[in-house]
């Protein structure tokens, strides 16, 4: 559904090639930007895509390999 403004954990898992448990750990540690609503994690599609584009940017800028 292209019109949604949020992205689900299974979608994030598939896009990153990680298991859902790992995605939940990244959400819990706020590595992936999110809002917590009760037991749910709400992830803005726009915020996630911005974050996804910058994965590893800090290490590339310092000359390290990600």
Per-residue model confidence as pLDDT tens digits over 27-54 = 999 999 999 999 999 999 999 999 999 9
The Cα–Cα gap between 12 and 15 comes to 5
State the pTM of this model.
0.78
> What size, in residues, is the chain?
66
Encode pLDDT of 1-32 as tens digits: 468 999 999 999 999 999 999 999 999 999 99
Give the chain's domains with CATH numbers. 6-59 (1.10.1660)
Model confidence at 61, in pLDDT bands (50, 70, 90)?
low
């Amino acid at each position: 559904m292209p019109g949604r403004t949020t992205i689900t954990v299974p979608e994030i898992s598939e896009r990153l090639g990680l298991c859902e448990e790992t995605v939940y750990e990244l959400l819990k540690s706020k590595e992936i930007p999110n809002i917590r609503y009760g037991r749910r994690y709400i992830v803005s599609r726009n915020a996630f895509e911005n974050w996804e584009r910058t994965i590893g940017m800090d290490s590339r800028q310092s000359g390290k390999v990600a």
